[in-house]
């Protein structure tokens, strides 16, 4: 028995009885009734007014009467203009609750056969992951999990930007200032170690630019003539020429970075099904560009560079190959997109990339379309807003970014401090308490990042995120721990509920119980909406609302003091089902839920 499916079928039958068997049922949508009105679900009747040739109130009244007479689920109704509010029987709600409790993957859709690649992270190998990468990784991971819950097969991919002038700058700085040091010899995490030399490069570069200016060189020329920049550019040329010594240094330093990245990914709880490396993919698009030239789709300028002209589509001309024949990012993305659709037979690709790259993906779609790839419009850019701190923006070259590793450590430390001050987990052994504080710190980080719609910019304040009250991760985790505690305190009753083979009928649901139960039946719709919008915020808003409803139920409807055994069972069943849905929804956000806090 599926409460929403069966109720929708009843409403469809009512519409067909009144308007004819061929009535268009596509607009039929049931909404949760607003709290100020009586009822559980509301039907908007306006789509059928023209066909019914009557007033909205009259059609709603007719449909309500039919449902009360013919449906064993609907026991009452009221009409507010063109809105028909339906009241469901207690036994119908009991059956709906039992269905939610017994269905293991409640809220998840059956497999659709669609396959989608979600690309996220995409770091550069010249610096450690920072706060911006954290939002990117958490968005990519959560969107992947939500799509899977909506029935889609997901391939999680990472494209590592492991070549180019940025890593050469770190390499040349290490050659100048490293004196043979390694992450092991200095006790430094690999990505931090390499990132320190990127900062050291920038310091040396600025000093050299100032020195040249002091000698009378203009600022523009000084920026081009700084010796350390010229050395980095020469190192890049050697890399592209496959110079063995340069390649060996590049592999060694990138290896340090990868080890550091992997440690951060493990701490964040993310992973990838496929990792691409720019050094292996940057040439893939060149053959496609050459083919486009031969077909007259692309144009070669007098200097030998190759372009696509998209001015007739409201865009601009876009460079695809430089005059020396080397590729650009667009060429690389062109090649990798074609390769990915071929390799995985994809239906869609979702790129999780900041909003500063919106134009890039507009061009990529148009370019692929011009080249004849029918799937070009199935490329989606999950464009997320800039993340800032209370003190402003971050700058990698100046070393003023918020490091991901430091942030994780800080939040876990803050969760530990607050937990100890409040006496939480005081009776637990040190290792167990430390694990709970780790889960709470990361839960605070993830929820704070994901509760805001991706398209919006956000300001991150670490201390605000670690709060056991309000719209925070720790509050939601604490709600789960409270629900688990209720079940633990009534072990015999919990066993009885666990062994139920049929719904508990013959009881009545009060308003506090009803609002929780109805929210449980919204979960599938929420998952589908979040998948359609590629927005974990939809799930985050839902889980916070469900937690608030459950906490009110918990305060108003004590289970242990209830004298009616059937009501006790029903409330425990509601508690257990709510806990299952809370945990399921939080896992879509990557948030673990401790059993006690």
Residue pair 160/125 in contact (Cβ under 8 Å)? The answer is yes
Residue pair 64/79 in contact (Cβ under 8 Å)? The answer is yes
Bridge partners (DSSP) listed for residue 387: 458
Q: Is the dihedral of CA 355, 359, 364, 366 positive or negative?
A: positive
Single out the residue of 64, 101, 93 nearest to residue 79, CA to CA. Answer: 64
Query: Residue 397: its pLDDT value, please?
Result: 44
Cα distance between residue 319 and residue 325, in whole Å: 11
Antiparallel, parallel or unpaired: β 83-88 and 41-44: antiparallel
* Chain-centroid distance, C-alpha 19: 43
Residue pair 130/397 in contact (Cβ under 8 Å)? The answer is no
Cα distance between residue 550 and residue 507, in whole Å: 19
pTM of the model as a whole: 0.92
* Chain-centroid distance, C-alpha 12: 35
Residue pair 368/334 in contact (Cβ under 8 Å)? The answer is yes
H helical segments located in 150-189: 165-177, 183-186
Cα distance between residue 249 and residue 254, in whole Å: 8
Residue pair 466/474 in contact (Cβ under 8 Å)? The answer is yes
> Would you give the DSSP letter of residue 403?
B
Cα distance between residue 341 and residue 349, in whole Å: 8
Query: Residue 440: its pLDDT value, please?
Result: 95
Q: What is the pLDDT along the chain (597 residues), one digit of tens a residue?
A: 578 889 999 999 999 999 999 999 999 999 999 989 999 999 999 999 999 999 999 999 999 999 999 999 999 999 999 999 999 999 999 999 999 999 999 999 999 999 999 999 999 999 999 999 999 999 999 999 999 999 999 999 999 999 989 999 999 999 999 999 999 999 999 999 999 999 999 999 999 999 999 999 999 999 999 999 999 999 999 998 999 999 999 999 999 999 999 999 999 999 999 999 999 888 889 999 999 999 999 999 999 999 999 999 999 999 999 898 888 889 989 999 999 999 999 999 999 999 999 999 999 999 999 999 999 999 999 999 988 776 644 444 444 568 899 999 999 999 998 888 887 677 888 999 999 999 999 999 999 999 999 999 888 777 777 777 789 999 999 999 999 999 999 999 899 999 999 999 999 999 999 999 999 999 999 999 999 999 999 999 999 999 999 999 999 999 988 899 999 999 999 999 999 999 999 999 999 999 988
Cα distance between residue 246 and residue 235, in whole Å: 7
Cα distance between residue 161 and residue 129, in whole Å: 13
Tokens for 249?
A: 């240094």
Task: Give the H/E segment covering residue 424.
Answer: none
Cα distance between residue 330 and residue 357, in whole Å: 11
Query: Residue 399: its pLDDT value, please?
Result: 45
Task: Give the H/E segment covering residue 203.
Answer: helix 190-214
HEC assignment per residue over 285-311: HHHHHHHHHHCCCCEECCCCCEEEECH
Residue pair 464/448 in contact (Cβ under 8 Å)? The answer is yes
3-state SS class at 61: helix
Q: What is the dihedral of CA 524, 527, 533, 534, to 10 degrees?
A: -160
Query: Residue 394: its pLDDT value, please?
Result: 44
DSSP letter string, 108-148 = PPPP-S-EEEEE----BTTS--BHHHHHHHHHHHHHHHHHH
The beta strand positions in 339-437, using DSSP E, are: 348-354, 379-384, 387-388
Terminal-residue alpha carbon distance, the chain: 36
3-state SS class at 150: coil
Bridge partners (DSSP) listed for residue 388: 459
Tokens for 315?
A: 């865009």
The beta strand positions in 540-581, using DSSP E, are: none
Query: Residue 400: its pLDDT value, please?
Result: 53
Cα distance between residue 148 and residue 143, in whole Å: 9
Antiparallel, parallel or unpaired: β 274-277 and 153-160: parallel
Residue pair 63/81 in contact (Cβ under 8 Å)? The answer is no
Single out the residue of 188, 191, 192, 197 nearest to residue 169, CA to CA. Answer: 197
- Count Cβ atoms below 10 Å from residue 157 Cβ, excluding itself: 24
Helix axes 131-149, 430-450, angle to 10 degrees: 90
Residue pair 52/59 in contact (Cβ under 8 Å)? The answer is yes
3-state SS class at 271: coil
């Amino acid at each position: 028995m599926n409460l929403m499916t069966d109720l929708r079928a009843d409403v469809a039958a009512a519409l067909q009885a009144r308007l004819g068997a061929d009535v268009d049922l596509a607009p039929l949508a049931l909404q949760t009734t607003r709290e100020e009105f009586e009822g559980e679900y509301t039907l908007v009747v306006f789509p059928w007014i023209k066909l019914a040739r009557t007033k909205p109130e009259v059609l709603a009244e007719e449909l309500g009467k039919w449902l009360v007479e013919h449906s064993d689920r609907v026991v009452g109704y009221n009409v507010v203009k063109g809105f028909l509010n339906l009241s469901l029987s207690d036994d119908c709600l009991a059956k709906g609750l039992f269905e939610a409790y017994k269905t293991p993957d409640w809220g998840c859709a059956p497999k659709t056969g669609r396959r989608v690649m979600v690309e996220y992270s995409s770091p550069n190998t010249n610096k450690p992951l920072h706060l911006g990468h954290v939002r990117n990784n958490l968005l990519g991971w959560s969107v992947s999990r939500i799509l899977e819950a909506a029935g889609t097969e997901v391939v999680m991919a990472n494209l590592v930007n492991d070549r180019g002038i940025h890593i050469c700058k770190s390499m040349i700085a290490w050659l100048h200032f490293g004196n043979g040091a390694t992450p092991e010899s200095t006790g430094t995490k690999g990505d931090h170690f390499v990132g320190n030399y990127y900062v050291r490069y920038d310091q040396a570069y600025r000093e050299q630019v100032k020195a040249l200016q002091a000698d009378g060189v203009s600022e523009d020329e000084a920026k081009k003539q700084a010796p350390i920049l010229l050395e980095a550019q020469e190192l890049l040329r050697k890399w592209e020429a496959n110079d063995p010594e340069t390649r060996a240094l590049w592999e060694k330093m990138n290896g340090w970075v990868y080890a550091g990245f992997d440690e951060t990914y493990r701490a964040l709880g993310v992973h990838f099904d496929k990792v691409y490396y720019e050094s292996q993919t940057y040439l893939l698009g060149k053959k496609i560009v050459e083919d486009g030239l031969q077909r007259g789709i692309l144009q070669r300028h007098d200097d030998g560079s190759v372009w696509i002209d998209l001015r007739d589509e409201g865009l601009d001309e876009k460079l695809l190959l430089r005059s020396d024949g080397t590729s650009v990012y667009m060429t690389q993305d062109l090649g990798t997109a074609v390769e990915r659709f071929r390799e995985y037979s994809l239906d869609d690709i979702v790129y999780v990339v900041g909003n500063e790259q919106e134009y890039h993906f507009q061009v990529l779609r148009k370019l692929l379309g011009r080249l004849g790839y029918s799937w070009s419009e199935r490329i989606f850019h999950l464009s997320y807003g800039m993340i800032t701190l209370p003190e402003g923006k971050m700058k990698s070259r100046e070393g003023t970014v918020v490091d991901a590793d430091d942030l994780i450590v800080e939040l876990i430390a803050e969760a530990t401090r607050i937990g100890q001050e409040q006496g939480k987990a005081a009776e637990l052994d040190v290792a167990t308490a430390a694990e709970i504080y780790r889960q709470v710190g990361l839960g605070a980080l993830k929820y704070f990042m994901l509760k805001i719609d991706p398209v919006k910019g956000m300001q991150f304040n670490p201390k605000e995120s670690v709060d056991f009250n309000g719209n925070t991760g720790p509050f939601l985790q604490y709600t789960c721990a409270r629900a688990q505690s209720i079940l633990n305190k009534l072990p015999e009753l919990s066993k009885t509920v666990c062994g139920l083979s049929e719904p508990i009928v013959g009881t009545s649901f009060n308003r506090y119980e009803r609002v929780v139960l109805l929210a449980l039946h919204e979960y599938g719709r929420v998952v589908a909406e979040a998948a359609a919008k590629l927005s974990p915020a939809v799930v985050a808003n839902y889980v916070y609302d469900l937690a608030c409803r459950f906490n009110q139920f918990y305060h108003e409807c004590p289970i242990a003091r209830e004298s009616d055994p059937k009501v006790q069972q029903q409330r425990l069943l509601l508690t257990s089902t709510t806990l299952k849905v809370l945990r399921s929804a939080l896992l879509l956000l990557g948030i673990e839920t401790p059993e006690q806090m």
